[in-house]
Structure 1
Amino acid sequence: MDLQQIKQLNKQTAKSYNDQKALIKRVLMGKPAKCPNCQQSLQFLAPQDGSVAKITCAKGCTDIELDLS
């Protein structure tokens, strides 16, 4: 891997991180958001009985676990 490929990978990683962060903010603010894969609505699931909080779509192709500590 040369330096140019590493820079490109870092750029893609940063974009992915920022896109996911914006998606999480949007859902937690109660604004409608769609799954990037299946276009179904995303929903926030609060933690219950030891489970973790998560943002998910009905199909499960988006499943983001949140650390609320």
Structure 2
Amino acid sequence: MTKLDFSAINKSAANSFNEQRNIIKKIGRGETVLCPTCQQPFKLSVSLLGKSGLSCEKGCTNITLELEL
């Protein structure tokens, strides 16, 4: 039986998570963060009933937030 090596996938997912977490922290501190693709500032949208998250004007980057009541 062959062992599957998921270390590269796990490392990529961890890096992505950390990058998104750092963007959220910066926006939480009031800093302006630019989208790496289009260089437009991210906008924060918070709604208890609908979709919450960060996105740029063009929509090329979206980070969905899960809110708990």
Indicate the TM-score class for this superposition, using the shorter chain for normalisation: 0.7 to 0.9
Question: Where does structure 1 differ by over 3 angstroms across 4 or more consecutive aligned residues?
Answer: none
Gap runs ≥5 in structure 2:
none
Name the CA distance, whole Å, in 2 between partners of 1:8 and 1:63.
24
TM-score with structure 1 length normalisation? 0.78
Report the Cα distance in structure 1 between the residues aligned to 2:64 and 2:12, rounded to whole angstroms.
21
Over the aligned positions, Cα root-mean-square deviation in angstroms equals 1.8
**Between structures 1 and 2, the one with greater helix share:** 1
Query: Aligned residues, how many?
Result: 66
In 2, Cα distance between equivalents of 1:53 and 1:38: 21
> How high is the sequence identity, in percent, across the aligned residues?
33
- 1:37 CA displacement: 1.4
